[in-house]
């Protein structure tokens, strides 16, 4: 993978799309990320993890008792994962399939957590409405 794959921030009218390979430090240095989102990350996430931690690494090692978990749950963030399925997701061939999950669906899914070394976070979708309400 290229060093810039899955390192993006895109906005439309309703959502902010953040690439899963961005670290919290990289996001703090970006100009095109909403100020409110930077504030949330600085106030909650960076008190629990280092600036060099990527969204992907944080997601797979997040604790349900942490403030980060509560923030992701409150924002109802959608995590787009590239998940490896042994049965090819019903096609009888091993392969990857892209699915969207909420934080609880990921942490409660034993298959995803057991195969986190071959599961990739491609993007996090954050609703601007939920962000404004936080």
Q: Which has more confidence, 95 or 82? A: 82
- Dihedral sign from CA coordinates of 69, 112, 52, 63: positive
Global pTM value? 0.85
Indicate whether 93 pLDDT > 90: no
- Residue of 128, 116, 131, 124 lying closest to 19 (CA atoms): 124
> Chain-centre distance of CA 55, in angstroms?
5
Domain ranges of the chain: 9-133
Distances (CA, A) of 87 to 44, 58, 92: 39, 28, 5
Average pLDDT, the chain: 87
Residue 121: exposed, middle, or buried by beta-carbon count in 10 A (0-12, 13-18, 19+)? buried
Architecture of the domain spanning 9-133: 2-Layer Sandwich (3.30)
pLDDT per residue over 94-114, tens digit each? 778 888 999 999 999 888 888
């Amino acid at each position: 993978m290229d060093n810039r794959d899955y390192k993006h921030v895109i906005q439309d009218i309703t959502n902010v799309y953040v690439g899963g390979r961005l670290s919290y430090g990289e996001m703090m240095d970006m100009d095109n990320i909403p100020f409110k989102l930077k504030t949330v990350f600085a106030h909650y996430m960076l008190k629990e993890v280092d600036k060099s931690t990527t969204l992907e690494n944080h997601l797979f090692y997040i604790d349900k008792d942490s403030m980060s978990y509560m923030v992701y749950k409150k924002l109802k963030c959608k995590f787009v994962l590239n998940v490896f399925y042994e049965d090819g997701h019903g096609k009888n061939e091993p392969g990857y399939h892209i699915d969207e999950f909420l934080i609880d669906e990921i942490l409660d899914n034993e298959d995803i957590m057991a195969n986190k070394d071959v599961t990739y976070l491609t993007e996090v979708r954050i609703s601007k409405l939920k962000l404004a309400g936080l």
